[in-house]
Amino acid sequence: MAIWPDLTEYHEALQHPQRSLGDPELQRAQIEKDRFGMPKPATGGNAVVYKATEGQNVWAVRCFLRPISDHAERYAAISKHLGKNRSAHSTKFFYLADGLRIKGGAFPIVKMAWIQGPNLDRFVEGLLDQPKELAALREKFRTLVNDVEAAKFAHGDLQHGNILVSGKDLLLIDYDGMWVPALIGRQATEIGHRAYQHPKRSVTDYGPHLDRFSALVIYLSIRALEVNRKLWDQYYTGDNLLFVREDFNEAGRSPIWGDLAALNDPEVSYLAGVLAAMIPRPLKDLPRLEAVLSNSAGLKPMELKPGAARPPEKPRWTPKPSKSGTAADLASQWKVVWSRPGEKTESRWKKGIKDGPVEVESEVEVVAPDPVLITLAVLATSIAAALTGIYTSPQLGLLAAGSGLVFTRGISRLQKKRVKHVSIRPVEQQVLEQHKVSVPGHKSAVTSLHCAADGRRMAAVTKFGECGIWELDNDGYKISAVRLPPFDQSALAANNGKAAVLTEKAILVADLLSGNKTELAVDKSNRACAVATSGDGAKVAVGQQLGQVQVVEVATKKTLAQFAGVSSRITAIALSEDGTALALGTTGGMVQIHRLTPNPEKLGEGAHHRTGVTALAAAPKGQFFASADDSGQVVVWGKNGQKQATANVVGRGVKSLLFLDHQALAVGCADGTVKILNPSSGSVVATHNVSTVAITALAFAKEKVALAVGTQSGQVTLLALEA
């Protein structure tokens, strides 16, 4: 065995808590499992964390990823101090020196109360359009900082991931780097998150001052977002609030400082100036947050100027195409404007040498009157003037005598003088560099897609149950509020982010944004094989193994329609956006068209496919349906069930279909191509080579007239005229 357990060994040990854990309560606990039935870990910093539930108690089991020689002494000191100086923002925990047994060895763990609630950054994001709520949150954070100072300890790693919002409270987690008075003289075991810590912090910085820089970083960030929420779109990276380490290394010079000054908010300018002024100072001399807020910090704020240099802005996202026309008109001109996994260009500032204007001083010679000679001349001519009527002007270099003028400029000398002027020289400047960086994507096949009308947001569901929401206009990516179990098929509503999936036990309908889930029971003796949703996700249609079809209202779980369609397994199903018409396809190549209101009625059927139906689609208003198979044949059906057109797109078969409007049908092929057909004639009006693997999902952005494409490898692409 390795000297210290690795992630895999912890993972294996937690499969059997009754044998591996020493704490009696944890031995009885249920360890949270992932979709494969394995312990579900969360890694972060120096530990991996598992959720353990025993009765009404829920615990976080922290297993350390590296050894720390005096861990036991540190945690004993922390536990003792918090016991005597309880803070409302700390949680109950126990250090178990021999808490976990792995292959004959005993290793320490921390048993800590599990806190349910979002991290600080997630909570802030939800309040961006509510400045009053952000202000209230900022005051709660101020109280937290004051309480920690009053309790005479320092957390050591104040950052978004270690502050949880539980109800109305802010709670601190992860005490690995905490300082308490009993630890005076020791060194720190960590130096905290780069986006929050003083750039000069080292392990020798370990004392009551540890949180003072990061506290102001967080307080200032929230205050700035109250004034202008757009700062979030510009500076949030997914692992910070607003600042990154480079901003501290370039205090007053990186773009964020100028943007904060440009807000013209006195409090933001003051706080930002103080934060910048903290950076040259030793950590032990930094003022408390309360001293900063009461203007008693004894620290002169750095003067920040608006409009500091910044990277050029990304091209503005256009919600509508620059050219007018339908999807059929514009499809041939589409290009790939966004793809993940993929690359993006990042602008970064660095110090470099570049020619620029510099104010310099130089020494030049000038002619100036000699003060000694001028003084003598003035005395002499003054006497003469009194006696003879001769007048002088030494300032003008003139002497008047009778009717003549005599120049006295010769009474002068050369002098050297320093003058300032601007010169172009190589100087150290902030140089903007463009870097190509790779951006990851989904790890399994995309089974369903939904695209907002303006193309800015795309939701994807993948085979392994991952639900991702992409913010296309700013390269943002979020895991949605719901995680799905393993499933056979999925469908996403055309007009929102509601997904329906078929699991072994039920039909699960989930709102990807809110996380709300609804389970619809299925007949286990008649397995569900295909699923579709109405445009608003309010209705779900399910095709079953024995040929039956059910249409269910999600909110009430009421069956709206039920009929025996065919005698063979249903392989594909499509529901019109308004939920009034339905098409089904079978393993035998049969397609049926049904009207659902006012009473279910079969309008037509046909066996026009040589192999099983692999894909079905309904036109937005149900005026057309389309079906396809693995031979590449596509059939377009009229609303009354009559065959209207056929086409053979080859492409090693068809895996997905989508009506863009009544004039265009998108066909996703197994060879990675997307073809746009005219549904009236079956003719191909455009072809796009998107991937080398099957196109498994399609979605349409109506206002932008753009097509979102998902593949078997997990790639997601947007085809449009421009970003």
Assign 309 a pLDDT band (cuts: 50, 70, 90).
very low
What mean pLDDT do residues 115-140 have? Answer: 93
Angstrom distance (rounded) from CA 184 to CA 186? 6
Q: Which amino acid is at 568?
A: S
Angstrom distance (rounded) from CA 672 to CA 692? 5
**Residue 390: pLDDT above 80?**
no
Assign 616 a pLDDT band (cuts: 50, 70, 90).
very high
Assign 407 a pLDDT band (cuts: 50, 70, 90).
very low
For 520, what's the count of Cα atoms within 13 Å in the CB-facing half-sphere? 25
Question: Residue 356 to residues 14, 41, 186, 254, 311: CA-CA distances in angstroms?
Answer: 62, 53, 48, 18, 18
In terms of phi and psi (left: phi > 0; alpha: psi -120 to 50; beta: otherwise), the region of 402 is: left
Closest CA to 272 of 296, 250, 285, 256: 256
Lowest mean pLDDT among 61-75, 106-120, 347-361, 394-408: 394-408
pLDDT at 370: 63
pLDDT at 135: 96
Assign 138 a pLDDT band (cuts: 50, 70, 90).
very high
**Residue 413: pLDDT above 80?**
no
What mean pLDDT do residues 709-718 have? Answer: 94
What mean pLDDT do residues 194-218 have? Answer: 95
**Residue 690: pLDDT above 90?**
yes
| Contact (CB, 8 A) for 183 and 106 | no
pLDDT at 198: 96
Range with top average pLDDT, 67-71, 202-206, 209-213: 209-213
Helix (H, G, I), strand (E, B) or coil at 193: coil
342: CB partners within 8 A, 6+ apart: 438, 439, 441
Closest CA to 349 of 426, 434, 238, 233: 434
| Contact (CB, 8 A) for 565 and 547 | yes
Assign 38 a pLDDT band (cuts: 50, 70, 90).
confident
Helix (H, G, I), strand (E, B) or coil at 182: helix
For 314, what's the count of Cα atoms within 13 Å in the CB-facing half-sphere? 14
Closest CA to 105 of 7, 13, 8, 11: 13
Closest CA to 100 of 27, 42, 30, 40: 27
pLDDT at 419: 64
**Residue 69: pLDDT above 80?**
no
| Contact (CB, 8 A) for 657 and 665 | yes
Angstrom distance (rounded) from CA 246 to CA 195? 8
In eight-state DSSP terms, residue 256 is: H
Per the structure block, which two tokens stand in for 608?
């026009």
Percent of the chain at pLDDT > 90 equals 48
- For 259-289, the three-class secondary structure string (H helix, E strand, C coil) is HHHCCCCHHHHHHHHHHHHHCCCCHHHCCCH
Q: Which residues of 369-400 are buried (b: 16+ CB within 10 A; e: fewer)?
A: beeeebeebeeebeeeeeeeebebebeebebe
Angstrom distance (rounded) from CA 394 to CA 391? 10
Lowest mean pLDDT among 140-154, 238-252, 283-297, 638-652: 638-652
pLDDT at 552: 92
**Residue 311: pLDDT above 60?**
no
DSSP E strands in 440-569: the ranges are 446-451, 457-462, 467-471, 476-479, 490-492, 498-502, 506-511, 517-521, 528-533, 539-544, 548-553, 558-564
**Residue 163: pLDDT above 70?**
yes
Angstrom distance (rounded) from CA 530 to CA 446? 16
In terms of phi and psi (left: phi > 0; alpha: psi -120 to 50; beta: otherwise), the region of 415 is: beta
Angstrom distance (rounded) from CA 624 to CA 631? 21
**Residue 376: pLDDT above 70?**
no
Q: Tokens 């964020």 label which residue?
A: 256
Angstrom distance (rounded) from CA 380 to CA 108? 102
| Contact (CB, 8 A) for 542 and 519 | no
Assign 402 a pLDDT band (cuts: 50, 70, 90).
very low
Q: What's the sign of the alpha-carbon dihedral 669, 671, 677, 682?
A: negative
- For 50-71, the three-class secondary structure string (H helix, E strand, C coil) is EEEEECCEEEEEEEECCCCCCH
Angstrom distance (rounded) from CA 706 to CA 625? 21
Q: % helix / strand / coil in the chain, to the nearest 5?
A: 20, 40, 40
**Residue 433: pLDDT above 80?**
no
pLDDT tens profile 580-591? 999 999 999 999
Assign 304 a pLDDT band (cuts: 50, 70, 90).
very high
pLDDT at 375: 62
Domains of the chain: 7-113 (3.30.200), 120-293 (1.10.510.10), 362-421 (no CATH), 442-653 (2.130.10.10)
Assign 494 a pLDDT band (cuts: 50, 70, 90).
confident
In eight-state DSSP terms, residue 117 is: S
Q: Is 609 exposed, middle or buried (0-12, 13-18, 19+ CB in 10 A)?
A: buried
Assign 699 a pLDDT band (cuts: 50, 70, 90).
very high
Angstrom distance (rounded) from CA 649 to CA 641? 22
What mean pLDDT do residues 504-508 have? Answer: 82
Q: Is 635 exposed, middle or buried (0-12, 13-18, 19+ CB in 10 A)?
A: buried
pLDDT at 399: 47
Angstrom distance (rounded) from CA 684 to CA 666? 10
